[in-house]
Every structure is written in C-alpha cells, then in structure tokens.
Amino acid sequence: MERDSFVVHCPYCGRRNRVPVRKLRENPLCGNCRKPLDIRPEFLKPVDVGDADFSREVLHSSGPVLAAFWSPRCPYCRQLLPLLDETAAGYGGRIKVARIDTDRNPATASLFSIEGVPTVILFREGRAVKRMVGVLSLDEIDRNIKAVLNP
Ligand SMILES: [Zn+2]
C-alpha cells in the first residue's frame, strides 16, 4: 500500500505535520513554528537489512538506527511491522528503521544474542544503546527513542 502523505513530528516543537508525498523533497516547514522538518525521504519507510549489509546499514550509518529483529512466523512480529512504518514516517526519516528477518539472517541475530522475537535495538554510532524485547506499543517505542535522543 503506497501512502499519499506522511504525518511527521516537527523536531523543534513536536507538532504533527501531514506532508503530501509530492512535497517531501521540497524541504517542507513546520506549520506551527516554521522551522524545517528535516525530512530524510530515503528513510521514511523501514529498510530490510540482512547479514550481508547489517554492518554498513546499521553500525556505520550516520544517525540513529532502530533495528527490529523479527520473524514472519511470529504473530507479535507481524503486529509490530505497522508500528515500525509509523515510527519511520513519524520521525521524518531522521531515525533509520531497519528490519532484520532472523530466519534468513541467523548470523546477525546470533551476533546480537537475539533469543526471542520481536527484539528491537536502538543503535547510535554503532553501539547498541537500548534493547526492547517482546510486544511493544507505539508509545513505548517513542519513549525509548526520545530517552536516547534527548537525554
Ligand atoms: Zn515545529
């Protein structure tokens, strides 16, 4: 399903702005405070990452990365997927959201000692700074991101 707009939180005042897809690349401003929304269109949707590109896409990415380890066989993981979509869109791509299918990428799952899915790890500058295991709500994901990004 393609979106025709994204709801993006302003990084300055927090106001939610609905931005039509055709405006994403035009440096849109916040309707409330008029500051730029700093959208990174390439990360507005989660990216699928695996053993071959985890290091490049997550550990060596500039900026924070929310890495979600999941399995298509796990119903809780399937519930998590739309929340990952909302997170990527809501932060305007300022946080890269990566999805790692642990069935297909056992080496990365083992490297980070993933014992159950879903497990979501927030990375900053290549370091795992927050680990969330089990069912999550969008609020919990948000709280964890904000705790790490705005200490
Ligand atoms: Zn604003």
pLDDT at 86 over 80: yes
What is the reported pLDDT for 151?
Answer: 44
Say how many Å lie between the CA of residue 71 and the centre of ligand 1: 37
Task: Report the alpha-carbon distance of residue 135 to residue 79 in Å, rounded.
Answer: 9
Model confidence over 111-126: pLDDT tens digits? 999 999 999 999 999 9
Catalytic residue among 10, 13, 30, 74: 74
How high does pLDDT run on average in the chain?
Answer: 94
Q: Residue 27 burial (CB < 10 Å; 0-12/13-18/19+)?
A: exposed
> Where in the chain is CATH 3.40.30.10?
41-149
Structural contact between residues 105 and 54, judged by C-beta atoms closer than 8 angstroms: yes
Which tokens go with 62?
Answer: 């500039």
Residue 7, classed as helix, strand or coil, is strand
Task: Report the alpha-carbon distance of residue 73 to residue 87 in Å, rounded.
Answer: 22
Beta-carbon contacts of 12 under 8 Å, excluding residues fewer than 6 positions away, are: 30, 33, 35
Instruction: Give percent of the chain above pLDDT 70.
Output: 98
DSSP H or E segment with residue 32: none
> Where in the chain is CATH 2.30.30.380?
1-39
30 is catalytic: no
13 is catalytic: no
Q: Residue 42 burial (CB < 10 Å; 0-12/13-18/19+)?
A: exposed
pTM of the model: 0.92
Q: Which CATH architecture has domain 41-149?
A: 3-Layer(aba) Sandwich (3.40)
DSSP H or E segment with residue 100: strand 96-101
DSSP state of 95: S
Model confidence over 35-84: pLDDT tens digits? 999 999 999 999 999 999 999 999 999 889 999 999 999 999 999 999 99
Say how many Å lie between the CA of residue 148 and the centre of ligand 1: 21
Q: What CATH superfamily classification does 1-39 receive? A: Zn-finger domain of Sec23/24 (2.30.30.380)
Task: Report the alpha-carbon distance of residue 63 to residue 84 in Å, rounded.
Answer: 17
